[in-house]
Every structure is written in C-alpha cells, then in structure tokens.
Amino acid sequence: LSSVHPPSSSTQKPRLKPSLSLSLSLTMAKFFNTYFTVLLCTFLILFSLPLSLSDSSIHDLLRSKGLPPGLLPREVKSYTLLENGTLEVFLDGPCLTKFENRVYFDSVVRANLTYGSLIGVVGLSQEELFLWLPVKDIIVDDPRSGLILFDIGVAHKQLSLSLFEDPPSCKPQGAWKNHERKEKGFEVMR
C-alpha cells in the first residue's frame, strides 16, 4: 500500500507578496466600480431620453389616447412623447390642409397629450373668416357624441369626428396657393 504524504513545500503554489495582492485587489475593485458606473449611466441615459415611438405611428398613438387619427397629417416625419405627456410632432416643413376650414401646421407641433385631449397646442392654426387663429386645445369629451371641440382662443368650435377619421394630406404653402389659383381659374371658365 502506498501511503499518503503531505505535499512538499516545493509543490505548493507560490504566494504573492501582500503588497502585490492588495494592489491587484484594488485594481480589480476600481475596474468593477468603473464598469458598474458606466453600465448604470448608460441605463439611466437610455431610459431618461424621450420615448421616440417610431415603431408605432402617431396616428396609432392618437387612437390609443381616444383621439381621431386624422388630427395630424400623413406627412408626420417623427414624434416624441415625454414621460410628462408632452408630445412633439415633426413634419418636413410647414404645410396646409383642410378639415372644415383650412388648417396650418408648423414644422413642429407641440401639445400635452392626455386621454381624449391635446392641451396647450402650439404650431397649429385654423382659418376663420379670413383670419388665422391659433388652436389652443383639442378635446373629445364624449366619443359617443360624435363631436370634437377646438378651442381657438376667442371661441370654441365643435366639429364632427367623421372629419378626422383619416389622416389628411398636407401640402406646402406654395402648393396650396397654386391649387387655389387653379380652382378659381376653373370657376371663372364656367
């Protein structure tokens, strides 16, 4: 039978000097601390940025918030929705469209989005009796009523929700003027 002998001192692992071991531990601690800090900062930055919802369209978002999808034109390039409800909608440039009357969209439209309303709208105007009035709020109080309320400052205007079922096409200002001239030209020819 063989006997078991304790390992000789020559086969034991060499021990590091205490100062080298401490230095190595501090270096690893600094590395993990830095790694954790970078990871935490990345996480915070990613989740504090505005929610850019390119996966779903602005029209889907409006629908999910109890608003008709046709409040904003097809030409919306992108939008952001902040956690506080601030909605920013970006178009390629200012443009005109028509609901009941002509409507002007700036290249950026902002509002506070809550269920059934856009409050504090900036960048949207509506033509009333040859005047352009800023739209301040858009509210759908009761979808069953079939009405939507536009607050244009001096008055509140109720329109049929059916006007906003489909997103309208929005034309640059110059294109709208040419379109009007053509229509007037045809009227004169009649």
Give percent of the chain above pLDDT 90. Answer: 55
Among 4-8, 87-91, 124-128, 178-182, where is mean pLDDT lowest? Answer: 178-182
pLDDT at 31 over 70: no
Q: What is the pTM of this model?
A: 0.64
**Rounded-to-integer distance, Cα 40 and Cα 168, Å:** 44
Give the mean model confidence (pLDDT) for residues 116-143.
Answer: 95
Q: What is the pLDDT of residues 132-173, one digit of tens each?
A: 999 999 999 888 899 999 999 888 999 999 999 999 999 997
Rounded to 5°, the CA angle 132-135-136 comes to 140
Return the domain boundaries, the chain.
18-49, 52-189
CA-derived radius of gyration, the chain: 32
Q: What is the pLDDT of residues 49-74, one digit of tens each?
A: 444 444 479 999 999 999 999 999 99
Distances (CA, A) of 153 to 83, 121, 128, 187, 189: 27, 11, 12, 34, 39
What is the fold of 52-189? Answer: at5g01610, DUF538 DOMAIN (2.30.240)
- Residue 127 φ then ψ, to 5°: -85, 125
Per the model's pLDDT, the better-predicted residue between 113 and 182 turns out to be 113
Helix (H, G, I), strand (E, B) or coil at 50: coil
CB 125 within 8 A of CB 132: yes
Give the mean model confidence (pLDDT) for residues 97-104.
Answer: 94
